[in-house]
Amino acid sequence: MTDIAASSEAVARLDAVRAAVSRAAADAQRPPDAVTLVAVSKTFPAEAIEPVLAAGQRVFGENYVQDAKSKWPDLRQRYPDVELHMIGPLQSNKAREAVALFDVIETLDRISLASALRKEIQRAGGTRVIRFLVQVNTGAEPQKGGVLPQDADAFIRACRQDYGLDVEGVMCIPPADEPPAPHFALLTTIARRNGLTTISMGMSADFPTAIAMGATHVRVGSAIFGTRG
């Protein structure tokens, strides 16, 4: 496939996902602008992302600090209004680079990370305003990051009160072998009882369900960019 054809396909897929998000919002009797599409560009090179940027997409998600560092500084020079989300596990020793790169960190899930992030925000002298989502391990899966649902309220409170982090929401990745709706309902309940306005849930296969359950952000990768190599 030529680069031009690949670019055209990515833009067509983006348009289709945008339309599907709008339909799901309408079906849930929510306004289309109540749901933000996070285009998950992890592992894709800058040349695959640029057509999607040119088509007007401005919110992107990355899983790996080094991968993001290799492509986004240059892309942001051309598209300075991009909002970049960290959606993968974050090691505490990558906190400085994450604070420099990302606008939103969706995977805050332990006190050691909260401490490291506060330190790096203070080191930046207040020049970086980072928004945070707490990742909740709704399925209590040992191989996944995230706080357990029963610990979420106390952790959110500690991040805000003890570490001064701007926690505005929650995110989850439901177990692959379970219906997602109960997990989405649980996350929405946690968000609402903690007064959080951002609920990041739903990916390519299940974002309409997530929108019906209250998602404010859906993270969609393969439906936009295609299969990763």
Please answer whether residues 60 and 40 qualify as being in contact, where contact means their C-beta atoms are separated by less than 8 angstroms: yes
pLDDT tens profile 141-195 = 999 999 999 999 999 999 999 999 999 999 999 999 999 999 999 999 999 999 9
- Percent of the chain at pLDDT exceeding 70: 97
CA distance 26 to 129: 33
Which residue matches tokens 């909740």?
136
What value does the mean pLDDT take over residues 79-87? 98
Q: pLDDT (tens digit, 9 = 90+) per residue, 191-227?
A: 999 999 999 999 999 999 999 999 999 999 999 998 7
Count of the separate structural domains present in the chain: 1
List the Cα angle 205/206/211 in 5-degree steps: 145
Which structural domain range is residue 124 located in? 3-225
User: Average of pLDDT values for 71-87?
Assistant: 97
Sign (positive or negative) of CA dihedral 36, 40, 46, 47: negative
CATH of the domain at 115: 3.20.20.10
Query: What percent of the chain has a predicted confidence (pLDDT) above 90?
Result: 91
Instruction: Give the pLDDT band (50/70/90) at residue 54.
Output: very high
Q: Give the integer Cα–Cα distance in Å for 129 and 144.
A: 27
Report in angstroms the alpha-carbon separations of 192 from 69, 116, 184, 187: 34, 27, 12, 9
pTM more than 0.75: yes
Please give the backbone phi and psi of residue 149, each rounded to the nearest 5 degrees, phi first. -55, -40
